Amino acid sequence: MLAPSPHCVLALNRHKSQNWNWEETIHLWAADLDLAGAHLPRLYESLCPQERERARNFLQERDRRRFIAARGLLRAILGSCIGVRGAQISIEAHPTGKPFLPQHRSWRFNVSHSQNFALWAVAREREVGVDIERLRLNLNLDALTNRLFSAPEKAWLRSKTSTHAAFFRLWTLKEAYLKADGRGIFLPLQEIDVSSETGRPAHRDARSDRWRFLEQWRLQSLSVFPECVAAVAAEGQNWKLEFHRAAFHDIGPPIE
Amino acid sequence: MPLEDSPYPSPAPSPQAVQEWLVTNLAATVGVAPAQIDVRLALTQMGIESLMLFSLAGDLASWLGRDIETTLLWEYPTVEALAAHLGHNDAIRLDPQANKPQPRSKPASLVAIQPLGTHPPFFVVHEVSGTVWCYAAMARHLGEDQPFYGFQVPLSEVESESAPDLDSLIALAATYVAELRAHQPRGPYFLGGFSLGGVIAFEMARQLREQEQEIALLALIDTYFPGLARSTPSLSRKIRIHARNLRGLESAQRLHYLQARLQKRVPNVPQAQGETPEARARRLLLQSQVSARLEAAFRTYRAPPYAGRITLLRAQGQFSSADDSRRWRGVALGGVQHHFVPGSHGLVVAEPYVRHLAARLKQCLHQARTASSP
């Protein structure tokens, strides 16, 4: 039994992670960021100067803490998977905002959090996107539907009796896909359809005005926390998911 | 021509009104007092998630009475930038009280962004929108000891006889060089530009060197190398097609067409008080033509070798790539000084990242001053 090293986050899992299957599996971690508590100083220490600057510039303390926890845990998770210290990982972002690892390009990842609930996905040689949303009641779903969804998606929503749950299910699938692609909301939202039960996204061809399925992507809805809806999108057809809970006791003893 | 049949947009509110609306609504969404909302802080730093941002865009569109492009809140990520973009944009004019020698001819393009200070002035060039709004945040951080001037494309001049040539970056740069030398007859010159502005500044520096003037600093802020093939779709091509379509329409139809298509692509449209819808439509058309022509000019420009040194400031969230840096290195016979600054292409000039860019620029300006002093 490996004793947890205070410098090595998720040390207990590392022993297992060396045997993990990375070819056909996407690994997912979920956590309640508000439970980070006494671990925040250590998590903050692992952030790079730009992340620390961002952390300092939050309007509210609650969001600062969640950011530190989300990024700190991202580094811990990636470090555990790759076999390096989280603080040593260099994270950059593409022009449209998607983060990547310039020194570990075969490792792909994505993060999402909605208030305190967070989801991280890590894969090898496979682009991945995740989205998690806390179910909110105070949104104008009609206006959002008009803005965010294409004609077939709107038709799919209309066919559902529980529009609230259906909206979030459809949106998380779409956002996970937009994030996996990397271009995010810079993609033409009206030309994309993620409502198919086959889990494949479709794009409308501008010239022929026909919808075409993209076989190289697969989307899947997830249930991770009771108050949330989530989804993952990834390249390839044959992957499966493995869940891990990012429990804070894995990080080692809290700093006094 | 009667306009009763066309749906015309309601008059756009001032940037202050848009800012107030944003502050009020953000404060309510986030659960703080309006006074706590920092208009220069990126919205994502306020704990607002994407669905909430989309909701905000929808409410804002309703209030403005027109559609808002979804990506707008990402392209203009602070309250201040968004308000400036959506409200009317008043061009900053050269301060007549500033204690500087008056230029011989009336400068249509050169404006003082911040005229105070004892250091030699730093001159920047507009980006593809033709405006210098992108430098406002930077000016604050450069401080009151650094005079800061900008070259912009004044819409009122675009269709006049003395209009600057927007179709050739060489001709445009020549116009700016003439105004620059009217304002400051001799070097050393401290020049810079963000995005497209960097390319124009480069051409200006090149021409100034041909005129035997010293360039103390040439700073390119996340600037693409002109002529490199890219996969992004051509905005200018789309706008050219629209402009051609518009010429065939009568004015009532034009407004309808513009409202439906062009507004989302038109940044910083100046608006006079009591402007008629027709005049506004005309201005939208002009602004879009400026952007399209500048982008087309950028695509046809080829950067010749440059005898001096180039300072490259690249966004870490990388819009310009390693390819661009390599190409700039290829033309700069005096070498390249390379700096990375945090943020992505759009955010590098916005809060909170702009303070790093400004700090770097201050260092570069200081170094350049020390190197060129007798």
Cα distance between residue B226 and residue A109, in whole Å: 33
Is the Cβ pair B352, A50 closer than 8 Å? Answer: no
**In the A/B pair of chains, how many CB contacts fall below 8 A?**
85
Tell which wins on pLDDT, A229 or B70: A229
Q: Which residues contact A84 (CB under 8 A, 6 or more apart)?
A: none
Interface residue B36 vs chain A (CB under 8 A): yes
Is the Cβ pair B317, A186 closer than 8 Å? Answer: no
**What single letter denotes the amino acid at residue A136?**
R
- Output the pTM of the full model: 0.56
Instruction: Select from B47, B316, B318 the Cβ nearest to the Cβ of A59.
Output: B47
pLDDT at residue number B320: 55
For residue A55, give both structure tokens: 């952390």
Is the Cβ pair B317, A92 closer than 8 Å? Answer: yes
Q: Which residue of A has its CA nearest to B355?
A: A53
pLDDT digits (tens, 9 = 90+) for A172-215: 999 999 999 998 888 889 999 999 999 999 999 877 889 999 99
Cα distance between residue B101 and residue A69, in whole Å: 56
Is the Cβ pair B30, A60 closer than 8 Å? Answer: yes
Residues of chain B under the 50 pLDDT cut: 1-10, 89-107, 231-233, 260, 262-274
Chain B 39-98, CB below 8 Å of chain A: which residues?
A: 41-42, 45-47, 49-51, 54-55, 57-59, 62, 70-71, 74
**What is the distance in angstroms between the Cα of B215 and the nearest Cα belonging to chain A?**
31
Burial class (CB in 10 A: 0-12, 13-18, 19+), A142: exposed
Average pLDDT over residues A243-252: 65
Q: What ipTM was assigned to the predicted interfaces of this complex?
A: 0.88
pLDDT at residue number B255: 54
Q: Which residues contact B232 (CB under 8 A, 6 or more apart)?
A: none
Cα distance between residue B295 and residue B218, in whole Å: 21
Q: Which residue of B has its CA nearest to A92?
A: B317
pLDDT at residue number B89: 44
- Residue appearing with tokens 């020049």: B191
pLDDT at residue number B156: 67
The DSSP 8-state label assigned to residue A115 in this structure reads T
The DSSP 8-state label assigned to residue A238 in this structure reads S
Instruction: Select from B58, B59, B317 the Cβ nearest to the Cβ of A93.
Output: B317
Is the Cβ pair A175, B45 closer than 8 Å? Answer: no
Is the Cβ pair B49, A114 closer than 8 Å? Answer: yes
Cα–Cα nearest to B226, from B297, B175, B293, B289: B297
pLDDT digits (tens, 9 = 90+) for B83-107: 888 875 433 333 333 334 433 334 4
**What is the distance in angstroms between the Cα of B226 and the nearest Cα belonging to chain A?**
18
Polymer length in residues for chain B: 374
Is the Cβ pair A139, B316 closer than 8 Å? Answer: no
Q: What values do phi and psi take at B183, rounded to 5?
A: -85, -45
Q: Which residues contact A5 (CB under 8 A, 6 or more apart)?
A: A11, A252
Cα distance between residue B157 and residue B91, in whole Å: 13
String of b and e for B13-48 (b: at least 16 CB within 10 Å)?
A: bbbebbbebbbebbbebbeeeeeebbebbbbbbbbb
The average confidence (pLDDT) of chain B is 79
Interface probe for B, chosen from A47, A58, A59 (most Cβ of B below 10 Å), is A59
Cα–Cα nearest to B313, from B373, B369, B358: B358
pLDDT digits (tens, 9 = 90+) for A90-106: 999 887 788 999 999 99
Detail the DSSP E strand segments found in B132-188: 148-151
pLDDT digits (tens, 9 = 90+) for B321-363: 677 888 899 999 999 999 988 887 777 888 788 889 999 999 9
pLDDT at residue number A147: 93
